[in-house]
Chains A and B, each alone.
Chain A
Amino acid sequence: MNPFTVHEGIVAPFNRSNVDTDTIIPKQFLKLMKKEGYGKFLFYDWRYLDGEEENPEFILNRSHYKKASILLSRDNFGSGSSREHAVWSLKDFGFRVIISSSFADIFYSNCVKNGVLPVVLPQESIEELFDREEKSEIYPLEVDLEKLVITDFNGFKESFDLDPFIKEMLLNGWDEISMTLQKEKSIENFERKHPIHFSLKDAVPQRNSE
């Protein structure tokens, strides 16, 4: 995972609450077995008319938002299904930061694992950002992960909270699995005294069975 330090990018306003992961990436794309290339399917049902013609009404189809890398939205962003494809599609489209008043838990965790920064701001700041964006032709923001500050260089400056460990993970681009694998001794010690009450041993397939 690439480290995340400071990101400057254009804001795309997504003025909906409860944006669920079914909407972010509809189920038909969940049959693909890769992690890349989902950007073109992002918000599929809203973004395209019949035959994959772009819906001119849809916000991300407006030319100045096609290069957006910061998504601004409302309450309960990413609710519903645990599909990580939702984050893969947002990231592949170009989003590195998502700003909202609240996120669904699983989606939040999926963002972090993929180097996408979820930023929670109070409702008033969300309203102000929507307002400032609407009044600008192009609205860039700078997100400083080290300082935990968002600024627009035009009077808006707001700090945000982030779990210190998540911050370190993102700043360094650490691989979480490698970190856990280094704790093998602790895991083995734990297993020695930890009871498991079911047994699936008989259902484990033999290596040479057909």
Chain B
Amino acid sequence: MGKTLYEKIWDRHVVEKRENEPNLLYIDLHLIHEVTSPQAFDGLKKENRTVRCPELTLATMDHSIPTENRGFPFGDPVAQLQVEALEKNCKEFQIPLFNLGSDRQGIVHVIAPEQGLTLPGQTMVCGDSHASTHGAFGALAFGIGTSEVEHVLATQCLQLVPSKTLAIQFTGQLAPGITSKDLILALIGAYGNDFATGYVIEYRGEPIKAMSMEQRMTICNMSIEFGARAGLMAPDQVTFDYIKDKPFAPKGADWERALEDWKELYSDEEANFDNIIYFDVTQVSPQVTWGTNPGQVVSVKGEVPNPEASSGFARSNVENALDYMGLKPGTKMEDIPINVVFIGSCTNSRIEDLREAARVLKGYEKSSDVRGIVVPGSQQVKAQAETEGLHHIFLEAGLEWRNSGCSMCLGMNDDFVGPNERCASTSNRNFEGRQGENARTHLVSPAMAAAAAVKGHFYDIRDWEYKLQEVNS
């Protein structure tokens, strides 16, 4: 019997397997950041333990850092203490750190791929649920809690029970203007936000093969919003081309050896999945969430649902969401006015995302009712965007151009959405209070966020009048 991609990666990392026990699984790369690591380091120190493999660990600051003035003192002294604690811990345990001043700093799930650290066939973990992003390279990557962060620091291993496997077989072809963000939102909307709980997903099919790595990462990133701990895609030439010559990727003979290894990373034809779903991407339209979980989503041409269409507890779910979101059933999505636009986050802050937003904004100004920030995923993305002149387009449109970080996705720093303000956001979670207390979040693609910034309300990107086809210099 053949093996799935997941099983192949898993089997390559089993250190020890005993009956009635979880497998002891080796972790190739551990990404850490300032928010979920301090208690783990404290735990190590308390037990007189050390970091087993500092050279398989990478630290950066992303969650709570300011995106305007980066130097100390921070406006928020509590956040500064956390950042200082990570600096100190990295020094004490000799862990590589891309610090605030570094041109390699950025959102942890943006920098690992762009530095050539995310590689096919690896196991990767991070004290952050969006570690699933790295699955786009055929790496088994998943989020862990702080206890497990401590476990990996101390042992480079985790005790794990294999997940069930879910194949999502995409068919058809995405229509023009439709992005991978729309696709993953439509998928979660169709099956429900906890459908994939207990599974590791493998995304398959021609529509995936046709995507760039940036688009693929957006899909794997939101696997967690579908309930799955990890999402995988088999690596192909697009993957290899992306990785080649990245700073920390293998070079020369090492590259050739790695490539041989990676070409084995696909699910065998006769492999068995625990569950398979087929999803035709042809009909996917631009998506906008209306509720308080990512499965509560409709087409931009659709309308706010009526709770009376559901019964029992499902009905109160809709009612609670509409109450929080301040929306009336039957309202057309295109008629919903917004106050804030956020273009950024580990879902949509890579160079392609910014190009897409800039292409829409070129020659336009934002609505006077809207404030907006563009937060590149890394300082490298920032530099690239500035080389291409994208920042001029954002600034001329009246949006703010910031330094990299998680920013308004979760509002741990000064970038948050105010009470009852409504935000068109390219991030991944529309939970209550996520972007700020009583903030109302609508998840969209970068192009849709850009269009909403100009119009002051949601607007179907398929109807957009572009003022310039190409903004690339």
Contacts and interface: CB of A to CB of B under 8 A. Distances in A.
Contacts of A197: 119, 122, 249-250, 254, 258, 261
B434 interface: yes
Given A76-B194, A200-B96, A205-B97, A31 B155 contact: no
Contacts of B277: none
Contacts, number: 208
A9 B117 CA distance: 48
Nearest to B120: A197
Contacts of A87: 145
Contact of B412 (A27, A35, A76, A164): A27
Nearest to B40: A84
B231 interface: no
Interface residues of B, number: 90
Interface in A17-74: 17-18, 20, 22-23, 26-28, 30-35, 45, 74
B85 A33 contact: yes
B36 A27 contact: no
Interface of A: 16-18, 20, 22-23, 26-28, 30-35, 45, 74-76, 79-84, 87, 102-106, 109-110, 113-114, 163-165, 176-177, 179-181, 183, 186-187, 190-191, 194-201, 203-207
Interface in B1-25: 12-13, 15-16, 20-22, 24
Interface of B: 12-13, 15-16, 20-22, 24, 26, 28-29, 35-36, 38-39, 42, 47, 49, 54-58, 63-64, 76, 78-79, 81-82, 85, 90-91, 94-97, 116-117, 119, 122, 127-129, 142-148, 150-151, 154-157, 159, 161, 163, 193-194, 197-198, 224, 227-229, 248-250, 254, 257-258, 261, 292-293, 313, 317, 320, 410-412, 429, 431-434, 437-438
Given A27-B411, A102-B194, A205-B96, 20 more contacts: A20-B293, A20-B429, A31-B78, A33-B38, A33-B39, A76-B194, A80-B431, A82-B129, A84-B147, A104-B197, A165-B22, A176-B147, A176-B151, A186-B16, A198-B29, A199-B55, A199-B248, A200-B248, A203-B248, A204-B96
Contacts of A34: 39
A76 B193 contact: yes
Contacts of B36: 30, 82-84
Contacts of B437: 26, 45
B145 A74 contact: no
Contacts of B55: 199-201, 204
A82 B82 contact: no
B89 to A, nearest CB: 11
Contact of B154 (A75, A79, A180): A180
A190 to B, nearest CB: 4
21 contacts: A22-B434, A28-B412, A30-B36, A30-B63, A31-B82, A33-B42, A75-B194, A79-B193, A79-B194, A82-B143, A83-B35, A83-B145, A84-B39, A110-B145, A180-B157, A180-B159, A181-B155, A186-B15, A199-B248, A200-B117, A204-B55
A27 B22 CA distance: 32
